[in-house]
Every structure is written in C-alpha cells, then in structure tokens.
Amino acid sequence: MKPFASLLGLILLLGLLPLQVQAGRYEIRQEIREGAREVRREKREARREVLRCKSRECARREMREGYREVQREKREARREIRREIREDRWERDRDRDSGRDLVKGVIIGAAVIGISSAIANSSANEGWD
C-alpha cells in the first residue's frame, strides 16, 4: 500500500507543476489582451474626435493627436508585456532553482536511507548484534 501512496503523491506533484508554469503565461496573455483593448479604445476615441470636427485643420489636428495616442498606447502595451515576460522568467528561474535543491535533498535522503538499511541488513545477516 505504501508504494501506491508514494506513486499517487508523485503523480499529484507532477500534475500541479504545470499549473504554476501556466499561471505566468496567463498573466502575459492578459497583458496582451489589455493592451489590445486600450489601443482599440484609443482608435475609437480618435475616430469620434475626427468626426466631430467641422474644419479640415481640426480634422488634421485630431488625426495627429489620435495617431500619437494610439502609438503611445502601443508602446505602453509593449512595455507592460515585456515587463510581464521578465517577471515570468524571473519567477520560473527562482522556482527552478528551489526545485533543484529539493531534488538534491530527496536524492541525498534516499541515499542515506539506502545505505543505512544496507548496513542494517548486512549486520543482521552476519550475526552481529
């Protein structure tokens, strides 16, 4: 029964790891959607302002301003996405480092238990007390 429980624990652990990795990717996709939404909003606003204009000069001014605002939103979206990717990489590296330490600890612990049980079995078979 004990091997089944440890196997079940291993399966659960491996099943939960991808969720942590996907959490960062979700945040990146969320930033992408948010940036696209802001750009569309600025385009709608610029279109609305141009349609309100009565003169050609007003339309030109509003078009320049609208273009400038849309470009600013695109830059801001790119900046936010880059920042989110950087944070995701940093978190993955941090998690990977701590996972490596965990694996080393498990391997060392298993080696110590294996060596101690081998010593105990060999002393029991030789008749030492």
Q: For the segment 67-114, what is each residue's pLDDT rounded down to a tens digit?
A: 999 999 999 999 998 888 888 887 777 666 566 666 777 888 888 888
pLDDT at 47 over 50: yes
In-domain check, residue 129: no
Residue 53 buriedness (CB in 10 A; 0-12 / 13-18 / 19+): middle
In-domain check, residue 36: yes
High-pLDDT (> 90) share of the chain, %: 34
> How high is the mean pLDDT of the chain?
77
At residue 16, the pLDDT reads 47
**Which of these, 94, 98, 76, 87, lies nearest to 26 by C-alpha position?**
87
Task: Report helix, strand or coil for 129.
Answer: coil
Distance CA 9, CA 13 (A): 6
Residue entry with tokens 């993955």:
92
Q: Summarize the confidence of residues 17-46 as an average pLDDT.
A: 78
Domains contained in the chain, number: 1
pLDDT at 17 over 50: no
Task: Report helix, strand or coil for 127.
Answer: coil
At residue 112, the pLDDT reads 83
In-domain check, residue 35: yes
At residue 87, the pLDDT reads 85
Distance CA 101, CA 103 (A): 5
Of 30 and 90, the structure prediction assigns the larger pLDDT to 30
Q: What is the pLDDT of residues 102-122, one digit of tens each?
A: 677 788 888 888 888 878 777
pLDDT at 13 over 70: no
In-domain check, residue 41: yes
At residue 19, the pLDDT reads 43
In-domain check, residue 111: no
* Biggest distance spanned by C-alpha atoms of the chain: 107
pLDDT at 48 over 90: yes
In-domain check, residue 13: no
In-domain check, residue 82: yes
Domain of 71, in residue numbers: 20-86
Q: Are 44 and 119 in contact (CB under 8 A)?
A: no
Distance CA 51, CA 63 (A): 10
Distance CA 39, CA 25 (A): 21
